[in-house]
Structure formats: C-alpha cells, structure tokens
Amino acid sequence: MPLAAVGVNKGNPMKLLCRSLMVLAVTLTAASAPAADWAYQGGDAGMTKYSADNVSADGVFQQLYAKRFYSKYSEISNHTYNYATSVLIRGGQAWVLSNDGPDDGNSYSLIVNTKFDWLTGATTMHSYMPGFTTSNHSFHAGEASGEIDSHHTNFPAVWAADGRIYARRGGDHAVNGAMDATTGTWTLLPYGGAATNGWYGDSAAFINVYGNNLLYYGGDTRDPWNYAAANISSAAWAAGTQGGLRCPVNIDSPYYTSGDHYAGFRHGDVPKAGSNMAVVASWSGSNAPYTMYVTATNLVTGQKAWTRNFANDRVGATGFYTSTSDYWRFLATEDGKYAFFVRNGSQTQLHIANIATGSDNISPMALAANSDPIMAYNQDWLYVVSAHQQMKINATTGAIAWQTTNSFSSDAGYYANYVDPLYRPMVLTNDTMWFVDGSTLGTGLGNGHLIGMRTSDGAIVQNIDLEALVTGKNANERLLSVNDLVESNGKLGVLLDIADVTDIHYISTNKIKYQDLYVFGSLSSPLAGDADGNGIVDFRDYIILEADFGKSGMNFAHVDFNSDSVVDFKDYIILEGNFGKTSVPEPTTMGLLVAGGLALRRCRV
C-alpha cells in the first residue's frame, strides 16, 4: 500500500510531531555522513579525479538505477546530435545539461536541462537554456555535423560554490552563461575582451572555474590569443559586471600560419587550476617535429609565472578544430603540484612539477613505450593508468608503492568519426579507482569495461561489461563512447553515449541518439530496506518506496527488497522491520535516529 495510505490525517495533532521527527531523522542521517560533491568534470578545478566519498572494494557492487537522456536534433537528418558532456552533483542533487524526455524535432526549440535526485534518479526540475539573442550568441545547438568535436558545440559546465552552473557553448556564436541551480534561471555573460579577440567561428568550449575566476578560451583552437580569467565574484555579480575580464591566462607557444586544420597552432587544453595557478598546455608547429608548451599564470597577480617546452610529436586524438586528448589528462593540485607527460616517438616521460615554479619535483620518469596514460591524485599519491602499465607513485619522493602490468585494449581518446569525447574520465576514492577500458567501443570486440582497481595494491576488484549492459537492454543499441565518470555518496555514475542502428539518421550524424547514466553502488553490508545505500534505513527509503510502489521489474535500489521484481506490501514490511537499523553505526546520532524511527512507526496510525 502506498505510504500516503498509512500517513496521518489532516488536522491530526500528531502530524506536526511526525513531520518534525521525519525531518530530524533525515537531517541527522545527512549530518552523520555528508556526501562529497562532484561539481566539475574531473572532480575539481585541477581535474585530480578524487572524491572524498569512498567506493568500497568489498561487498556487493550492483547497478542501482539507469536514467536516459535524449540528444537534441536526433530526429533531424545531417545535424549534430547535441548532448551532455558531464554530470554535476552538489548536496545530493545532480544536473545534466540535456533532456530526460524525447527531442521534439524542432531545430530552434530551446534546449532542456534536467535536475534530479542523485540517490534515486528521480527528476526534480527542468530548465531551458536561453535561445537566440539579437547578436546570435546563445546556447542554440544549430551546427553542422562537422563541428561536433570534444567540447566544441556541446556544453561543458561547472557547478560553482556560488550556487551557479557556469557553461560555455563553442562553435559559431559562442557564449558563456550561468544558471541559478535552484531556480533554473540563466544569465548570459559578457564574451570577448582584450585576451579573446579571436574569430568567434569554430570557437573552443574549454571552461573551468577557480575561486572567483571563470577560465576559458575565446577563439578557434588555431588562433594566437591567450585564454581569459573572467570575474565571477559576488561583488561583480552585485555590481552587474559579472563575466568581465580579470586577466589573461597566458600561453607562450608561437603561432604558425597554416590553412591546415591539423597543423599550425592548437589550443587543445582545458586550463587546470590549483594553488592559485592556472596551467595550459598547447601544441605548436607547422611541420614535424612538434613542440608542446606548458605555461602557468598566477591568478592572484594576473602575471605569467613560468613556461616550459618539450619536443612532443604525439598528442593523442585531435579531431577537427578541437582539443588534444593528452592535455586533458594532465592535472593540478591544491598542494602545489602539476603532473603531465611528454610523448616523443614511442617514448613517454612523466613529469611531476612544482606548480609555482615549473621545476620538476622528481626526476622525469620513463613510462612504458607508447603510453598515453590517464592520471588521478590524492594526498601526495599519483595514480597512473595506461594500456599495459599501472602504478601508484609518491609525488614528492618518486617512490613507487606498486606497479601492475594489466593489459587493457587501449588508452587512447574515444574520438572516432565525430564521436566525442576525447576526454578519458576517471574516478579515485580512498579504496578504489575507476576507469573504462578501451577506446574502440561499439565494435563487439569486448571493449568498454568499467574497471575498478584497489588503491592499496592495484588489484582489479570489479570488471563490468558496459557494452553487454547496453545491448542487453536493446539489441539495436550500441555503446559509442563514455562521456563522464562521477562519484558522490558512495555511488559511481557512468554517462554513456548510445547509438540506435535502426535510426534513419544513423549514418548522416555523429550517431549519438541517447545518453544513459548508469549508477552503481557498493554495500559492504547490504541492509534490506536501505534503498539509497547510505547505510541506514530511514525516511528517505520510505520516499523511494512510495514512488515505486506497485511497479514491476524493479531492483534493490527501487525497494524490491525480496527480489520478486515487484514493489509491494512485502517490501514495505521489510523496510518497516529494519527502520532505524544501520550498517555503519554512528554513536553520536544513532540513539536519536532510532528514537525517531520508533516514533515514526507509531505515526502510522
């Protein structure tokens, strides 16, 4: 029976007490186990990929729910399928800049964004991005299929500490914008300035936020302009000057005039920020040998801090007018480090530098031949994962804690025939780190596995075939690429790009018809009734039960606690019997939680 049927009647004097106890139980539970946010692609402004919420290496790891998003223009021939690049999470709520309902097929209709509860996947709000303005600088999605590069016409975004989601549209008519994450209201920001005078056509969409700075590149990836740090301080918002230029974020690579999209100058990096520094890598050269330039800007003084250059003839996947996949793997930290690698010939060399000076903290380290690693960092430990070598390195001493030689199918970017992204996502928690094996997805060759490795010794503890999950749901659907990996509250999310081979526009577009968000969780002690997996059976689990009551085909996360595929009164009895129980006791709050639970159970009359 639905929860409403066992609630108190209107006017019952116990109602206020019950509501208070419910709020108390939820509040105390949240206070006892605050969830870490995942508000950036890459986890933070330095793209360290670290989350303070742990995903355990032990226990039962299961898919909790799946949520589908629909690509814009998926019903229009020879158009870009516009879709989300990231999942942003704060305070248990998540935003995806895409619609969880089908596209209406109108090429100039507004783009819908979706807010949902991270624990359950339930949608809580939609917002609409601003369409055409008089200057045509807006968040419309009307680009040709040839302009579908990584973070070029799609909308990279950051959920900043000021409560706003900052996003950028690249391509023609590029624009920056900010959305109030509570109301869904968008504000367009000033665009351009002394540092970004470049041609707006084919403009890059790299974006980051660090403190009061909105960091982005204003022109084509071949233009000779600096990046910009725009002012998004509370004072600037109060004065109506938000988005104004604070200072340039410098680059030092020389400009080579060239009509070749794949030669000349390439701004292919999202700026990484940490320790009040912003660092950008760029690639330059009219003919081989090519050179990588790494330049740092002090965001306090607005001045260039240092620059270094390296012979670097291999930069990973590049695409058309777009990013270079290697540079998206570099990272910056709040304890003063910048980790990057250089590839020349078959040799790959790892550098861990002082972010303030650019000097190497340790001697450069040779990695396995032809390595193109992804990296993550936490508390002086750098985790390096490539196709044939994985290691944990002390970033101060250079000591190697462990090294493994698992063979994965590829460590290249996911780029293939205008299929994004070049970015290879990764998540690091205290117990485990996660990534997706392989770049050639959707081939039926066994690529596309979600890999979980234990941080203490590098052992593989999870290996989930994502391609099999996709085709198992629908034999006509294919996994094309992986846009994002995110983590919050012990839940791991994987944002997948999905093609439908029966779609009549499958050949003439970038093929991404849908995106599926798969959310997984690990319970060290599975507790019947704990639908959201937060370690305690509380009122939030009652809410999930009410929402799913009477449905079939459900799983544990959707309150089918007795595994009969139906949410019914039997599941309600299980939840009620375990109300207040916890798999991770918290002595400071458990007494109150159990007391609240007992009182809530009395409120059923």
Name the residue ranges covered by the structural domains of the chain: 3-33+534-602, 37-118+131-141+417-532
Residue with tokens 């290879």: 424
Least confident stretch, 333-347, 443-457, 487-501? 443-457
Tokens at residue 602, please?
């009395």
Q: Assign 28 to helix, strand or coil.
A: helix
Task: Give mean pLDDT, residues 426-442.
Answer: 88
* pLDDT at res. 555: 64
* pLDDT at res. 529: 82
Q: Assign 544 to helix, strand or coil.
A: helix
**pLDDT surpassing 80 at residue 387:** yes
Residue with tokens 């794949």: 262
For residue 586, the one-letter residue type is E
Listed residue (384, 273, 400) closest to 333, CA to CA: 273
Task: Give mean pLDDT, residues 153-171.
Answer: 87
**pLDDT surpassing 80 at residue 94:** yes
Task: Give mean pLDDT, residues 556-573.
Answer: 77
Least confident stretch, 54-68, 242-256, 342-356, 543-557? 543-557
pLDDT tens readout for residues 171-189: 767 788 999 999 999 998 8
pLDDT tens readout for residues 263-300: 445 667 889 999 999 999 988 765 666 888 999 999 99
**pLDDT band (50, 70, 90) for residue 52:** very high
Least confident stretch, 73-82, 151-160, 168-177, 481-490? 73-82
Task: Tell me what the pLDDT averaged over the chain comes to.
Answer: 79
**pLDDT band (50, 70, 90) for residue 144:** very low
Is omega for the bond preceding 289 within 30 degrees of 0, making it cis? yes
- Using a pLDDT cut of 70, give the percent of the chain over it: 71
* Residue 77 neighbours by CB distance under 10 Å: 11
CB 151 within 8 A of CB 202: no
**pLDDT band (50, 70, 90) for residue 578:** confident
Task: Give mean pLDDT, residues 412-417.
Answer: 64
**pLDDT band (50, 70, 90) for residue 10:** very low
Least confident stretch, 34-48, 379-393, 429-443, 456-470? 429-443
Q: Which CATH number fits domain 3-33+534-602: 1.10.3720.10, 1.10.1330.10, 3.40.605.10, 3.40.50.300?
A: 1.10.1330.10
**pLDDT band (50, 70, 90) for residue 597:** very low
- Using a pLDDT cut of 90, give the percent of the chain over it: 41
Q: Tell me how far apart the alpha carbons of residues 95 and 115 are, in angstroms, rounded to a whole number.
A: 4
Task: Give mean pLDDT, residues 385-413.
Answer: 92
Task: Give mean pLDDT, residues 394-410.
Answer: 94
* Residue 563 neighbours by CB distance under 10 Å: 10
**pLDDT surpassing 60 at residue 421:** yes
Listed residue (161, 166, 186, 165) closest to 176, CA to CA: 166
Task: Give mean pLDDT, residues 411-421.
Answer: 62
* pLDDT at res. 563: 65
Q: Tell me how far apart the alpha carbons of residues 493 and 208 are, in angstroms, rounded to a whole number.
A: 21
Q: Tell me how far apart the alpha carbons of residues 99 and 132 are, in angstroms, rounded to a whole number.
A: 19
* pLDDT at res. 419: 56
* pLDDT at res. 536: 83
Task: Give mean pLDDT, residues 553-573.
Answer: 75
* Dihedral angle over CA of 183, 186, 187, 193, nearest 10: 140
Task: Give mean pLDDT, residues 574-600.
Answer: 57
**pLDDT surpassing 60 at residue 590:** no
pLDDT tens readout for residues 471-483: 989 999 988 888 8
Task: Give mean pLDDT, residues 248-277.
Answer: 73
Q: Which residues pair with 213 in a beta bridge?
A: 210, 231
* Residue 471 neighbours by CB distance under 10 Å: 16
Q: Which residues pair with 278 in a beta bridge?
A: 273, 297
**pLDDT band (50, 70, 90) for residue 206:** confident
**pLDDT band (50, 70, 90) for residue 583:** low
Is pLDDT larger for residue 595 or for residue 230? Answer: 230
